[in-house]
């Protein structure tokens, strides 16, 4: 049983965004500050990547640890109520993510997944580690 009413839960869930989330905005700010230019939610590509860098032929997905099940992350817990529902939902999300990454790679596109916990890492408030990951990944893509 849920600890809040069905109406309150529905209201809470309706406020969860799928685009322009705080993690996505933070990654975009970081990329922009590093001089990278990109487009958003490229609808013509499988999975509509959150960030598309045409010059680098690279798709970036910014995944929430809870929704996309970041392995061994404390944010990727399973709710205690309706566990069967959540397990099924999470499994479908994982499969869809894998399928989209495979399709993009088959198209010759490089894919980088950035996890929410990597963005809001308290031990790296200046995002030095994330900047290094982004920079080294993208520099490898230049042909």
Rounded distance between C-alpha atoms, residue 32 and residue 29, angstroms: 5
Q: Give tens-digit pLDDT for 47-84.
A: 999 999 999 999 999 999 998 999 999 888 888 888 99
What string of pLDDT tens digits covers the 143 residues of the chain? Answer: 566 676 775 666 555 656 678 899 999 999 999 999 999 989 999 999 999 999 999 999 999 999 899 999 988 888 888 899 999 999 999 999 999 999 999 999 999 999 999 998 888 888 999 999 999 999 988 76
Architecture of 21-140 per CATH? Answer: 3-Layer(aba) Sandwich (3.40)
Q: Is 133:60 a contact under the CB 8 Å cutoff?
A: no
List, in sequence order, every beta strand (DSSP E) within the chain. 39-40, 51-53, 58-63, 110-115
Domain boundaries, given as residue ranges, for the chain: 21-140
Cβ within 8 Å of residue 142, ≥6 positions away: 56
Backbone angles phi, psi at 31, to 5 degrees: -60, -45
Tokens read off for 81: 């109520």
């Amino acid at each position: 049983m849920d600890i809040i009413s069905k109406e309150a839960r529905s209201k809470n869930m309706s406020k969860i965004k799928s685009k322009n989330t705080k993690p996505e905005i933070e990654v975009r700010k970081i990329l922009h500050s590093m001089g990278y230019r990109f487009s958003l939610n490229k609808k013509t590509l499988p999975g509509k990547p959150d960030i598309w860098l045409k010059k680098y032929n690279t798709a970036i997905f910014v995944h929430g640890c809870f929704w996309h099940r970041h392995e061994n992350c404390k944010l990727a817990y399973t709710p205690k109520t309706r566990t069967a529902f959540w397990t099924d939902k999470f499994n479908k999300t994982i499969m869809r993510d894998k399928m989209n990454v495979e399709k993009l790679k088959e198209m010759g596109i490089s894919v980088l997944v950035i996890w929410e916990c990597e963005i809001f890492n308290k031990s790296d408030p200046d995002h030095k580690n994330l900047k290094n990951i982004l920079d080294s990944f993208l520099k490898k893509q230049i042909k």
